[in-house]
Amino acid sequence: MRVYISADMEGVAGITAWEQVETIGGVEYARSQRLMTAEVNAAIRGALEAGATSVTVNDAHGRMRNIPPEDLHPGAQLISGTPKKLGMMEGIDRGFAVACFIGYHARAGSHGVLAHTYSDVVHRLEVNGQEMGELGLNALLAGYFGVPVVLVSGDQVLAGEVRKILEGVEAVIVKEAVNFHAARSLPPRLAREKIRLGLVRALSRKSFQPLAAPAPATVTIKFNDPARAAAAAILPRSRFLDAATVTYTGADYLEAYQAARSLITLAKSS
């Protein structure tokens, strides 16, 4: 059984501020690297205890060089660095039995800790009319490859998203969002143990269903100002819905997913 882990940072227990998740944060960021790595290692331990034959971890936060390779559990392999063709889901393929999302956060516009969708330039993102955050977008990509998501960790707002999108998925709550920059977190050791046990429990069920990826797939992004949207609309085959909203329809979800990432990258360049 091959297990895939996509690891973000904002949803890790104890993290509530941007300076904790960006390299300019110095000591704060270095502490967050350790916290993130420890939660990932807990997931790896749970996967191996449940019978995983291999574990692949994709560092999916920021510049995607957050997990020190020497600190990763030796039972896993690490994908790090950027750019990556599939971004937060680099390395996913049809050979994986399951996927797990560790340290994830809620979508833009929600009440979750550091809630956003890929970038602060995005106000709202939809796939075929359904609002999505990184959780949904990445779960759909896993589904495109026939891989079910079995566990997600983060705050209670993220857990609410999970229940609306992914039936039967283990949602491990490691902190309760108070607001965008405040949370009541579990002690890190307890959060890690919840993740480990959650993954053992999830994998013991042996019956998983991947999220169905739509085809064709239309991604619609409302940006936080018209200048951002104008830059995004440079992408061929994209079109404006209004001054701040750009849409793109792909023949399948993989095309739409890559287009969404391209639209956001272009918007950030303006």
Q: Which two tokens stand for residue 113?
A: 């800790």
What 3-state DSSP class applies to 192?
Answer: helix
**Which segments of 123-252 does DSSP mark as H helices, in order?**
134-144, 156-165, 188-204, 226-232
As to burial, measured by CB atoms within 10 angstroms (0-12 exposed, 13-18 middle, 19+ buried), residue 131 is: middle
Catalytic residue among 73, 111, 116, 181: 116
Q: Has 111 been labeled as part of a binding site?
A: no
Q: Catalytic annotation on 111?
A: no
Q: Has 39 been labeled as part of a binding site?
A: no
Which residue in this structure is represented by tokens 């956003």? 116
Q: Has 242 been labeled as part of a binding site?
A: no
Q: Has 123 been labeled as part of a binding site?
A: no
Q: Has 8 been labeled as part of a binding site?
A: yes
Interatomic CA distance for residues 71 and 74, integer angstroms: 8
First and final CA of the chain: distance in angstroms? Answer: 44
Interatomic CA distance for residues 110 and 192, integer angstroms: 25
* Binding-site annotation, residues: 8, 10, 61, 105, 134
* Binding-site annotation, residues for Zn(2+): 8, 10, 61, 105, 134
Catalytic residue list: 116
